[in-house]
Each structure stands twice: as structure tokens, then as C-alpha cells.
Structure 1
Amino acid sequence: MIDIKLVRDEPDRVRASQAARGEDPGVVDAILAADEQRRSALGEFESLRAEQKLVSKSVGAAMGAFQKARKSGADDADALEKAAHEARAHAATLSEKVKGLEGLADEAGTELDRLLRTVGNVIIDGVPVGGEDDYALLETVGTPRDFAAEGFEPLDHLALGERLGAIDMERGAKVGGARFYYLTGVGALLELALLNMAMAQATAAGFTPMITPTLARPEVMAGAGFIDAHDDEVYKLKDDELYLTGTSEVALAGYHADEIIDLSKGPKRYAGWSACYRREAGSHGKDTRGIIRVHQFHKVEMFSYCRPEDAEAEHQRLLAWEREMLAKIEVPYRIIDTAAGDLGGPAARKFDCEAWVPTQGRYRELTSTSNCTTYQARRLNTRERDPQGSGTRAVATLNGTLGTTRWLVAILENHQQADGSVRVPTALQPFLGREVLTPVD
């Protein structure tokens, strides 16, 4: 959730961010109006509440004077009784007004919170404006193989996987339906080797390894920013009010919810290994062959909590760790700066690493790393002691992928040989225990 102070102080910056994302900048004016209504109602409430306290004290004094006069038979007892009743009536009227103003303030606060949650994170300066095709190409690493010069036509990853006894889509569909699959034999071993290599790298870099829950409560999903505008893309267990997570980022974002954490010694970094589930709503007809776009997969995800002023430098570190993993699987790839309209709500900037897929003749995403600044932490109430003051402040959160099932596509296709075998990248060989994958026939 964006900071209301940012909207008040820099409304034009928030409007520009909304426009860059292709979203309605007019919501900024609605937020400011709701904020003003809430603050006005709160001001009236506090003023009337103070008056109510004074009147309540006067009621007690008036009733005491009346009771004393009645007992003594004083001539002014009737007048004092009338004054006491008038004071009680005034107090009752004030009480109703106070309740009404409190209700108005609560309603305005609820509307303000709702409006704030419709606004994506304010993008960082330099993020390209536009949609999916408006990214900025930052770097291309490696050169795609010339299979024609090598004298053979490359097979796609599914054909290779079937020959290797590594992928079984037919039985996956029989059990789970479309976009489900089995990784079998060397396919299962290859995925485990890849993810173990990712976890080994993360651990060596100081990340705390985590096996995370794959079910999350609605408030955690919402806090991580995954159901604001994309609820239809997430699997939900309605009877239990739980969601299946599409990434361990959700569980890792919720790990320190409602906590004050200590970042005085640097970022807290976690590497989460989990199964991931995605409905792939709206992807009908896209990537229906193979394991590029599926409903269930495994992933190792980096997650970092750091101070807001350190977030951009931390983002570059996560990207460097992704580059290190991509170098280990020896595939050509490129890095893009994702355009604002293609960012998820929590991300202020996202870098994608896309590997070359020979049979498609194009680059496909393997990793992404996002700087979510304080957006998720504000929702999840994750704070640190402010180094410049006595209070607390929201921390920054970032995430990045170190390995996932889709990487098998790039490994199989880029390292295939003319005889249908696949060379195992050198760095992966110790984790897999073999140098070459050979057809089972």
C-alpha cells in the first residue's frame, strides 16, 4: 500500500505513476478527498469529544448540587433539578453527535483504505512507460547456437523430455487436467538438482533456507498484493478461507507481519522452496504445449527485508545472484527493465531475465526480481526502529527467482545434441550425478 503522506506531498508523482501503469490517475483526487473528509471528521470528533468530557463532569456536579439541596429542603432545589436534567440532556445529545462523527470518521477511513489499495506501487524514476512490449533492453548475454550450422533441427523441450523419459504430459492431463504434468526419471532428478543448486548458492550467499507454507490466509495474500486485481488468477479453498500461493514470496512476506525487525546489521534474506499454484486465467491457447505455462511447479525464491534507502542497491544484488545462477546453466539470456504497465501492483521496478528458447526463436522469462519498496510492509505492518528517530517505520521488501521448473525448458533445448541426448551444464553435474542425459529408447 502506498504511503498516504506521499499522496499528500507529491500527488503529481503518484498521478504520473498511475498514468505510466495505464491506470486511472483520477484516483489520486478521490484519495485526497477521502483523506480530507476523514481528517475533518476526526477533528470534529476530537473537539466534540473534549466538550463531552467537560459536560459529563458538569452533569455530575449539577446532580450533586441538586441532591444536596433536596436533602436540606433548600428553596432552589427545583431550579437545581431542572439544571441537572438539562445538563444530562445536553450530555446525551453530545454523546449521539460524538458517535455519529466517529462513525463518519470510520467510514471515511475505510473508504480511504479501499482507495489506497487500488493504487499500485509508485514506480521508480527510469521505469519505462507502457505495456508488455515497451520494456527496455538492458543487456544480452551469450549467443544462441546455430543448429543449422551443426547440421540438425533442434527438438522442443517436450519432444526431448519424452525421449529422455523425463516429462509425461499425457498422464498429467489424465490426473489433473490441462497444464498438469509428471516429471519422471531424470526429469524429476534434473529439477531437484537445479533447485538444490539454487538453494546451495543462496545459502552460501547468507540466505536463510526456508520450506514455506503453500496455503495462506486472505489477509496475508492481500498484504503481499496478490488478490487486489487478480483474485481470479489464484486458487482459493472457499470452505477454509485459504489461498494456494503462486510463489513463496507470499509466505515470506507474511513471515514478519506485525513485527518490528532489526535491520541494524543489514538485510534479512530468506530463500524459500515451495510448490507454486497458478490458475493461468486468461491464458487460454497460450503455451499449451509442454511445461512453460502450467498450473503447478516448484521454485526457489529469494526474499529480502531491508531499509528503504538500501532497496535499490539490494535490487541490484538480487539481480546479480540471478545472473550467477543463469551462468551456471550456460544459456543465452537477456535482461529487461519491465515497463510500468506490465508490473504487478506491489512492484516499483522489476527486472526480468529471459533465456533463449531455440525452437521458439525468442527469449522467454526465467527469472524476475522486484523492488516492492515499502508497499507490502505497510500492508503487513512490518517495521523497524527508525534509525533517525524514536518511532518505527515500514521496511522495504524485495524478491527474486533463483530457479524454477521452467528452467528445464531452457536447459533441455539449449544443451541438446544431434543424437537426442542432452549435455548437463558443468555446474549442475555434481548435483545431478551425471554429465549427459540419454534417450531411454
Structure 2
Amino acid sequence: MLDIKYVRNNIEEVKNSLENRKNDTKILEELIKLDEKRREIMNIVQDYRAERNNNTKNVADLKKQGKNEEAQKIIDDGKKISEKIKELDNELKKIDEEYSLKLLYIPNIPANDVKVGKDENDNIELRKWGEPKKFNFEPKAHWDIGPDLNMMDFDRASKLSGSRFTILKSQIAKLSRALTNFMLDTHTKNGYTEIMPPHLVTRETITGTGQLPKFEDDLYHTDADDLFLIPTAEVTLVGMHKDDILTLDEMPAKYCAYTPCYRREAGSYGRDVRGMIRQHQFDKVELVWHVHPEESEKAHEQLTKDAENILQLLELPYRVISLCTGDLGFSAVKTYDIEVWLPSYQNYKEISSCSNTKDFQARRANIRFRDKDNKLKYLHTLNGSGLAVGRTLVAVLENYQMEDGRVKIPEVLKPYMNGLEYIG
């Protein structure tokens, strides 16, 4: 979340940020009014408490002088002051709850070099890698490749769980596992610590990364114990340092984790309805950094390169784009999307989103460090997919398909496939 002092002193900047993100500014106006009312009541309570403390001293003096009637009058006045304080404290508690909730709805402020734009059409392409393959036959989409090999089943998955689920079988299931292990091995060789986190987290944990309260409709929730299935391992990799104070020697803390991810996709009906591109359950290898504030911009570039490296090793064409303000995620100040080439779309499709959230998540989760002067400060967090396993599987199937229906195994995956050359 944003620092309320910053919001208070930079109202126009925060207002412009909300407008550029296509957010209603009404919530900011309500927050500022609550903040003013909150501070006004706190000042009144402080004055009352000072008066009550002063009266207590006067009572002792009067009693020593034998002026019991005067002392009793001050005691009676003190009781009235205590009642007023109690009433104001109750009012302040209600205001605090509303104030804290509204502050959680204010998104992060985009970095100065992020383009102001309405939607994905205003994003900026930064670079491309590799050339889309030219086939000498009509390439098939993955939703045909898999079923034709009898290794991908959408109908049985739908019978089990409804729409937007997939069953993988045989060699394609093994290919998915191979991709996961390849990604984890590559990232751990590059300095990441592998984590195997829980898939269910508390409301407090998932609030820390910004999914709650605004995006609760996109989450799967257990009513009995108020737990949430994670939409991304970012939630756990950031949340595991909640309320921690890291030392300078512990930063940067670089983590990677493979987990299934669960999303309702509440606002995406009608989008990517065929195949595996947009699922309620999907596998992902996530990258998260906890860094010194002075290092976060540099770390953002490196994290993105680490994600790109997976695609380069797999020899899959991709491009990197910088998101405009209208397409930027709630917690991010800046995001690079990596999009892989998919023949079925004859276009690039997002396979990773790498974001710098600066101290936004650290404030929500209370993650701090001690600087050289031993002062406590909020660190910066970054996250990115390294990569989405299902979409990488789709990219391999479509880009490595052959005219006879088989799929060639990328060179780097052969050791993970027991030397297998082809699927099918």
C-alpha cells in the first residue's frame, strides 16, 4: 500500500495515477476526508488525555491541602472527560477500519518512465528474440495436436471439473514435468533458492501482495477456515517474510517456486476459451526478489532476463513489451510482459509478467531491513513468471510440431525426457 503521508502530501499525483490507471478517484477523496477526520479526532483525544493527566496531578495537590470538595469536583470532571475519550475512541476505531480498507484499494503509482495509455494497444514493444518459424505445411493449434496424439483431453477434464481445465497424458504429461524441472534447475543454477510453499494461505497473507481486498472475486476461497488457494506463488514467496526484518547480508533474497495456481478468471469470459491458454488451474514457476530499494530497478531488468533465458534455451521466439498505465497491474510501478510466439494465434501471447512493486507489498506485509545506520526501512519486492508452464508447453507443442503429427523435443529438454527425440 501507499504511505498515507505520501498520499496526503501528493494528492494530485495520486489522483492522476488513479485516472491514468482507469480507476475512479472517488475513493481517494473519501480516503482524504477520513484521514482529516481521523487526525482531528486523534488531536482532540490527545488534548483530553493531557487535561485528564493534569487534573490527576491537581487532585493530589488539593487533597494534600485538605480541599476535598474541590478535588472531588475535578474527579467528577475527569470521569466526564474519560467518557468523552471512550466515545471518541469508539468513533476512531470505526473510522480506522474504513480508512485502512480504503487505503488498501489505492493502487501503486506508476514509475515516471511508464507510458500513459488506455489499454494493451498502448503498450511499447522493447525487443524481439528469434524469428517465428515458417512451416511448409498448415500448422495445427495445440488443442488439436494434443487430442490427435491422445495425450490431451479437454472433454474428460470438463466432465471432472467443468470448463477451463485440462487432462494431460503420457508423453505430454511428462513434457510438462520436464519443463518444470528444467526451469527450476536453470533458475537455481542462477542463484535462486528453491521453495516448496503451501497452496492455501490466510486472508492476511494474500492481502500482503495486493490480491485482497479488490480482487476477491478472482480467488478460490474455503469458507470453513477462511483460506485462499494461491493465484500465484508470488503470494507465498513475498508473504513468507511478513513482519521480518532482513539484514543487508540477506539481500537480495531470490526465490523460485513451482506451484499449481488457481484463478476464477472472473473477468475473462469469452477470452481464450479454447485450449490451455486461460485455465482455472495452471502450473507456474515463479521468481521473487526481496531487495534494497536502491537495487530494485536493476533487479527488475535482471529478473526479466532470467525469465527470457528460459525461452532462449528452448529456442522459442518471443518479444518483451513495457505495459502502459492502463494495462499495469494493481501492485506494480512498472511491468515487462514477455510474449511467446504461438502459430495458432499467428501472434505473440503473454507467458510471463515481470513487475517491480517497490515498497508497496512490503508496506502491506510489513517487510523491512536495517540500513547501514541501523534504521528500519521497507525493502522492495519484485516478481515474475519464470515461466508459466502450461503456456510454455503450448508454445513447444505448436512451434516444434511436425507435418506427420509428431512433436520434436527441444534439445535442452531431452535429458529430462530420457533422451526421447519426438512425442508421438
TM-score, normalising length from structure 1? 0.91
On the 8 A contact 1:164/1:186 being kept in 2, the answer is no
Name the structure 1 match of 2:131. Answer: 143
2:230 corresponds to which of 245, 260, 271 = 245
1:314 aligns with 2:299: yes
- Give the SS at the match of 2:246: coil
Give CA-to-partner distance per residue, 1:317-342, whole Å, 9 cap, x none.
Answer: 11010110110121111111112222
For 1:334 and 1:435, the matched residues in 2 are separated by 29
Relative to structure 1, the CA distance from residue 10 to residue 53 in structure 2 (aligned partners, 3 Å threshold; closer, same or farther) is same
Query: Once superposed, which parts of structure 1, at least 4 consecutive aligned residues long, lie more than 6 Å away?
Result: none
1:42 aligns with 2:42: yes
Name the structure 2 match of 1:71. Answer: none
2:100 corresponds to which of 101, 113, 134 = 113
For 2:246 and 2:331, the matched residues in 1 are separated by 21
- Give the SS at the match of 1:406: helix
- Give the SS at the match of 1:288: coil
Name the structure 2 match of 1:2. Answer: 2
For 1:426 and 1:416, the matched residues in 2 are separated by 14
For 2:380 and 2:278, the matched residues in 1 are separated by 30
Letter in 2 for 1:25: T
Letter in 2 for 1:119: I
Per-residue deviation at 1:24?
2.4
1:342 aligns with 2:330: no
1:21 aligns with 2:21: yes
For 2:312 and 2:358, the matched residues in 1 are separated by 28
Letter in 1 for 2:138: E
Q: May I ask how many residue pairs the two structures share in their alignment? A: 422
- Where do 1:55-204 residues align within 5 Å? 55-63=55-63, 65-66=65-66, 80-129=67-116, 130-147=118-135, 150=136, 152-204=137-189
1:383 aligns with 2:371: no
For 1:290 and 1:100, the matched residues in 2 are separated by 59
Letter in 2 for 1:28: L
1:395 aligns with 2:345: no
Letter in 1 for 2:215: H
Letter in 1 for 2:119: G
After TM superposition, the structure 1 stretch with the greater mean CA deviation from structure 2, 425-434 or 324-333, is 425-434
After TM superposition, the structure 1 stretch with the greater mean CA deviation from structure 2, 99-108 or 347-356, is 99-108
- Give the SS at the match of 1:206: coil
Per-residue deviation at 1:64?
5.5
Percent identity for Structure 1 against Structure 2: 35
1:266 corresponds to which of 243, 247, 251 = 251
Per-residue deviation at 1:164?
3.0
On the 8 A contact 1:165/1:186 being kept in 2, the answer is no
Give CA-to-partner distance per residue, 1:21-58, whole Å, 9 cap, x none.
Answer: 01123443433332232222222222221221121233
Per-residue deviation at 1:386?
3.3
For 1:367 and 1:421, the matched residues in 2 are separated by 27
Instruction: Select the structure of larger CA radius of gyration.
Output: 1
Give CA-to-partner distance per residue, 1:46-74, whole Å, 9 cap, x none.
Answer: 222122112123334444555xxxxxxxx
For 2:194 and 2:164, the matched residues in 1 are separated by 29
1:424 aligns with 2:409: yes
Letter in 2 for 1:168: D
- Where do 1:224-243 residues align within 5 Å? 224-243=209-228
Give CA-to-partner distance per residue, 1:276-316, whole Å, 9 cap, x none.
Answer: 11111132232222111111111110011011221111110
For 1:103 and 1:291, the matched residues in 2 are separated by 52
CA RMSD of aligned residues (A): 1.8
After TM superposition, the structure 1 stretch with the greater mean CA deviation from structure 2, 412-421 or 2-11, is 2-11
TM-score, normalising length from structure 2? 0.95
- Give the SS at the match of 2:248: coil
On the 8 A contact 1:421/1:436 being kept in 2, the answer is no
For 1:221 and 1:266, the matched residues in 2 are separated by 23
